[in-house]
Chain A
Amino acid sequence: MATRGFTGRPPAAEIRERLPPGQYLTDDFPVLQMGPTPRVSTEGWRFTLRQGAKPLASWSWDELQALPRTRWGGDIHCVTKWSKFDTAWEGVTIDDLLAAAGLEAPTGFVLAEGHDDYTTNIPVPDLLGGKAMIATLYEGQPIEPDHGGPARLLVPHLYFWKSAKWVKSLRFTERDEAGFWELRGYHMYGDPWREQRFTGD
């Protein structure tokens, strides 16, 4: 049902077709996080793949930098309604991490964990096939702390809360375990094109 007196300002067709439902385009890069920006140094930094509590493989900052690097460019969509077009990231794909560790994904789901104790859940197939990376560069520069640097998960085909900032580990889980926002009503999967913002969407 139309809202009385509202016409809005729909964007031009070429923008509109790149915007998932309910999103608007911004040129800024807004910051969304639950608390202060943690101070994460690359000195002593480690990134770990775990299964439950058990570490499967881990990398220091320098070891991570030595792995094959991949660039990804495209649009990102935040559940708070902004989308940003043509973002450019570089990092190490999850495929390359697993290959470097000589591992196959041991379970079907992952909880990504951040240095701020943030967690978010993602099905493993959404992390493989070049769909996700541990990103360390944004537009060719080290990622700013406010945007998750030194390293963040990047899963750009899902709402951006799935792209955990200050990522420190991926924990493989047997079941699809809800993360921080998912426990608070955000959608378990979070596909922007199906507008899966909240439980039941």
Chain B
Amino acid sequence: MADPFRWRSTTIRAITPATARVKSFRFDALDGPHRAGQHVDVRLTAPDGYQAQRSYSIASVPGDPAGLELMIERLADGEVSGFFDEVAEIGDAIEMRGPVGAFAWEAADGGPVLLVGGGSGVVPLLAMVRERALRAPDVPMLLIYSARRAAEVIARGELSARSRDETGFDLTLLLTREGPTAGRRIDRVMIDTAIECLGMPRHSFVCGGNAFVGTVADLLVDAGVRPSAIRTERFGG
């Protein structure tokens, strides 16, 4: 099998806006398989040799014929995310290595699976939703997705359609800055309701900003989910 930790050059094949601040980038497929939820490291090199590296979650499923998908959110003053937002074009060569990470789920792991994402933390969970649909449609899966505003919801159309069309997959979308749920945060009631609907999860994945992940992981433990069944991934910093 190819060495996943060797840096190699990959090419941007497509760029699509996902929200005002998030773009989807399609690259050549990785040399080997990944598990849904894993990330890659990306490295940029300046003419003077200066390099910057960042980790980005993979949104696509292994073997996706459209290639590897990353969804990159433009951060304020983002040295690397700013490059992807403003400079990167189709055909550009980018150094990448991976897949990396233990925040991962595959069909053989089974379910029920409870996913909780905040903001762009939904990206690795989207890969799991897609993986389930493709390779494990019998596994019950529920995604609680907290976003600030409707316009900031990543893959909204896809997630809503899957929730409507796929038996066994449910989406709970919480908008925290507009509409009837403005001001609400994910709380114990929402977690309990999700577990009632889904059953006690065998696996739970939580991804988002630091405070979000800490709060949600504590709520899951309080609701009776085994700590060893909970995997967390935090971004920021």
A22 at the interface (CB under 8 A from B): yes
Kindly report which residue of chain B lies nearest to residue A36, judged by CB atoms: B217
Contact indicator per residue, chain B 1-38, by CB within 8 Å of chain A (1) or not (0): 00111100100000000000000000000000000000
Question: What residues on B are CB-neighbors of A5 within 8 Å?
Answer: 83, 87-88, 92
- B39-47, B128-136, B138-146, B165-173: which one contacts chain A? B39-47
- B150-158, B194-202, B225-233: which one contacts chain A? B225-233
Q: Is the CB of A201 within 8 A of B5?
A: yes
Question: What residues on B are CB-neighbors of A32 within 8 Å?
Answer: 234
Q: Is the CB of B217 within 8 A of A37?
A: yes
Kindly report which residue of chain A lies nearest to residue B84, judged by CB atoms: A6
Cβ-defined partner of B227 (8 Å) among A24, A36, A184, A199:
A36
When A185-B4, A200-B5 are in contact, do A3 and B44 touch as well, CB less than 8 Å?
yes
CB A26 to nearest CB in B, in angstroms, measures 5
Main secondary structure of the interface of B (DSSP, over half): mixed
Q: Is the CB of A6 within 8 A of B46?
A: yes
CB B99 to nearest CB in A, in angstroms, measures 9
Q: Is the CB of B220 within 8 A of A36?
A: yes
Question: What residues on B are CB-neighbors of A38 within 8 Å?
Answer: 227
When A28-B236, A200-B6 are in contact, do A3 and B214 touch as well, CB less than 8 Å?
no
**Inter-chain contact count A-B, CB under 8 Å?**
106
Q: Is the CB of A3 within 8 A of B54?
A: no
Q: Is the CB of B45 within 8 A of A2?
A: yes
A33 at the interface (CB under 8 A from B): yes
- A7-15, A69-77, A85-93: which one contacts chain B? A7-15
CB A4 to nearest CB in B, in angstroms, measures 6
CB A5 to nearest CB in B, in angstroms, measures 4
Q: Is the CB of B231 within 8 A of A4?
A: no
B94 at the interface (CB under 8 A from A): yes
Q: How large is the interface on A (under 10, 10 to 19, 20 to 34, 35 or more residues)?
A: 35 or more
B178 at the interface (CB under 8 A from A): no
Question: What residues on A are CB-neighbors of B9 within 8 Å?
Answer: 1
B210 at the interface (CB under 8 A from A): yes
Question: What residues on A are CB-neighbors of B50 within 8 Å?
Answer: 8, 10
Question: What residues on A are CB-neighbors of B227 within 8 Å?
Answer: 35-36, 38, 116
Q: Is the CB of A8 within 8 A of B46?
A: yes
Beyond A36-B230, A200-B6, list 5 extra A-B contacts (CB 8 Å). A1-B9, A4-B93, A8-B51, A29-B237, A200-B5
Task: Enumerate chain B interface residues (CB-CB to A < 8 A).
Answer: 3-6, 9, 43-48, 50-55, 79, 83, 87-88, 92-95, 97, 100-103, 210, 213-214, 217-218, 220-221, 227-228, 230-232, 234, 236-237
8 A–B contacts, CB within 8 A, in A order: A10-B46, A10-B48, A28-B236, A35-B230, A197-B5, A198-B97, A200-B6, A201-B5
